[in-house]
Amino acid sequence: MTDQFDVVDLGTKHGNAIAEFLKKGNMYLGNDQLFKSFRKDRCVGYERPEAENYRSIVEKKKFRFRVADLATDEAIAAMPAAHVYLAFHFLEHVPNKSWANKLVKASLTNAKSLAWFRLPSFEQDKDTGEGVLREHGMRFCWTHWTGHPTHWLVQDCVEAIEEWAKDNPEREYTLKVKPAELYKNIGNPRIVPISAPIDTNEYSESLGPKPKLPNFKPPVVSAWEVIVNFSN
């Protein structure tokens, strides 16, 4: 496998995930020398063809930009090698879990050092998931967005990684799963009534009152990190 890029970002939008990684990604990469060698012009963001309007924003940040329909086998097969693969708030946008599964596995195959998936929470448990909110008639706003056809769970991601590992026993890796973002109370604007219209982005008083509740203990997890580090 020949490296073509330092970082590949799937669903890049404005290139913010690349920028975040270049600032603090070494906390997961764990290789100072490699991290310091990364260059902006060897980082590339992928977007769907209809998002060509993001190109100028990404290229202004000195990153490269590519368009591809990543819900096709042809585009997935053409994904390049890189030290790092990122997929921040991306897998929920693909048509179904089958394509998300393929994209996770392709990311692992093409990543030499690190694959970092950030997932908005669709978990329904009553410990730290949306189930906590639903007990009070509330939900995450993104649960019902037309742009989120795939409610990709942490377990879905872990299972895809484990399936890939069975087919690639020579690739040693460590897996870390941890909260990426926490909501401490019901007042967060991204928490809306269950009855809120589809594609509601944030709470407004017109949606009806929120219940008065103490802070969540433990906090509700609104996003998760699933991080794969390769040792070879």
28 located within any domain:
yes
The pLDDT of 196-213, averaged and rounded, is: 97
Whether 57 maps to a domain, the answer reads yes
**How does pLDDT run across 39-87, given as a tens digit for each residue?**
999 999 999 999 999 999 999 999 999 999 999 999 999 999 999 999 9
Q: pLDDT of 206-222, one tens digit each?
A: 999 999 999 999 999 99
Confidence of residue 232 (pLDDT cuts 50, 70, 90): low
Report pLDDT for 130.
98
Tell me the CATH number at 45: 3.40.50.150
Output the 3-class SS for the chain: CCCCEEEEEECCCCCHHHHHHHHHCHHHHCCHHHHHHCCHHHEEEEECHHHHHHHHHHHHCCCEEEECCCCCHHHHHCCCCEEEEEEECCHHHCCCHHHHHHHHHHHHHHEEEEEEEEEECCCCCCCCCHHHHHCCCEEEHHHHCCCCCCCCCHHHHHHHHHHHHHHCCCCCEEEEEEEEEEECCCCCCCEEECCCCCCCCCCCHHHCCCCCCCCCCCCEEEEEEEEEEECC
pLDDT at 231: 85
Above 60 in pLDDT, residue 2? no
Is residue 113 in some structural domain?
yes
Mean pLDDT of all residues belonging to the chain:
97
pLDDT score for 3: 46
Range of the domain at 22: 5-129+146-182+223-230
pLDDT band of 4, cuts 50, 70, 90? confident
Question: For residue 124, is it within any domain?
Answer: yes
Domains contained in the chain, number: 1
Residue 92 lies in a domain: yes
Residue 35 pLDDT: 97
Residue 211 lies in a domain: no
pLDDT for 168 equals 97
Please indicate, yes or no, if residue 42 is contained in any of the structural domains.
yes
Q: Among 3-12, 93-102, 135-144, 175-184, where is mean pLDDT lowest?
A: 3-12
Note whether residue 30 is domain-resident: yes
| pLDDT tens-place string over residues 139-159 | 999 999 999 999 999 999 999
How does pLDDT run across 157-190, given as a tens digit for each residue? 999 999 999 999 999 999 999 999 999 999 999 9
* Rounded Cα gap, residues 162 and 22, in angstroms: 28
Q: Is the pLDDT of residue 129 over 80?
A: yes
